[in-house]
Amino acid sequence: MNSKVKYDVIVIGELNVDLILNQIGQFPEIGKEIIANSMNLTLGSSSAIFASNLSTLGTSVAFIGKIGQDGFASVVLNSLNSKGVDTSNIIQSETLNTGATIVLNYDQDRAMVTYPGAMEDLRLEDIDFDFLTSCRHLHFSSIFLQPSIRKSLPFMFSKAKLLGLTTSLDPQWDPAEKWDVNLSELLPTLDIFMPNKAEFLLLTATNSLEEGIAKIKNIAPNLILIIKDGVNGAYAWKAGQLIHQPAFLNENVVDCIGAGDSFNAGLINAFIKGDSIEKCLESGAITGAVSTTRAGGTGAFKSLDDVRILSVEVFNVIF
């Protein structure tokens, strides 16, 4: 192992806050004002939820991302710091604002508006590869929200691998729905690729898991492919074998915000420990399920003890 190792995982990705408005009497109309009876300002973004929950599980985590110097920036930094994530490599732009998502919850539905802000400006030059040499694993999330670094990802992952890190990527949804990614270039630079099923089918332009896997197996024969499929659980494809992990079904879902990111946290936490692929999948399924028992992406991850208690009490499984 590298003698400089300080962090198990370096997360590179998007950062924003979520301003969540609940209990609104009716959906907003142009030109009118309505009242929300509850409001919550929390850490948003897939990458930050992943980093925060991974740290709670006991893995040491550092973060590289871009925010502004505004009040929302303090919310992001305080939230990550309070979960033990190292934020010293987060860049605070003097000119750009921190990204924010305004969420309007109305009954079972919601409307969201996102201002990407500084997250769109993260670029290859912002990454301190010397710092990466003090980490064991690199995880990146949300390629379509970060246009300034997107085309540099194969270079970034290749360089990280040369420095001795293992690599993982969760592509997340493409808001433009173009799904324009050169998989032949990107996938060979990854150890683990972890989209959800809808994203995987759109990225591979196929209609089934089997077809999608057939398309990528020659491009990246050594890849571990993880496919999340909501209440149907998740799949792992490794060395020509497809394994299915059923979900630990939650009958009383509070919300599914961050279920995929929490799944990723459980899986990478196990991967870092050197667990088998079966164990990694099961860990992900537990933490994905645990995430649905509390509001928001980090609500169920207050401490490792809380995660363990929820696993046993709600799902009758030991984490």
Ligand X SMILES: Nc1ncnc2c1ncn2[C@@H]1O[C@H](COP(=O)(O)OP(=O)(O)O)[C@@H](O)[C@H]1O
Contact flags string 160-189 toward ligand X, x per CB under 6 A? ------------------------------
Is 260 a binding residue for Mg ion by CB under 5 A? The answer is yes
Q: Which residue has the tokens 């921190």?
A: 98
191-210 residues in contact with ligand X (CB under 6 A) are 196
Numbers of helices and strands, H then E, in the chain: 11, 14
> Measured between alpha carbons, how far apart are the two ends of the chain, in Å?
27
Is 288 a binding residue for Mg ion by CB under 5 A? The answer is no
Amino acid at 300: A
Is 237 a binding residue for ligand X by CB under 6 A? The answer is no
Residue closer to ligand X by CB (options 131, 173) is: 173
Q: Which residue has the tokens 């890190």?
A: 165
Residue closer to ligand X by CB (options 289, 300) is: 289
- CB of residue 234 to ligand X, shortest distance in Å: 4
Is 297 a binding residue for Mg ion by CB under 5 A? The answer is no
CA–CA separation, 17 vs 97, rounded Å? Answer: 11
- Residue 84 has which token pair? 């033990």
- CB of residue 192 to ligand X, shortest distance in Å: 14
Residue 138, helix vs strand vs coil: strand
Count of Cβ atoms closer than 10 Å to residue 210 Cβ: 10
- Residue 115 has which token pair? 């201002």
Residue closer to ligand X by CB (options 63, 248) is: 248
Single out the segment in contact with Mg ion by CB under 5 A; choices: 26-34, 90-98, 114-122, 256-264.
256-264
Contact flags string 255-294 toward ligand X, x per CB under 6 A? -x--xx--x---------------------x--xx--x--
Is 307 a binding residue for ligand X by CB under 6 A? The answer is no
Residue 216, helix vs strand vs coil: helix
Residue closer to Mg ion by CB (options 45, 93) is: 45
Using alpha carbons only, how large is the chain's radius of gyration in Å?
19
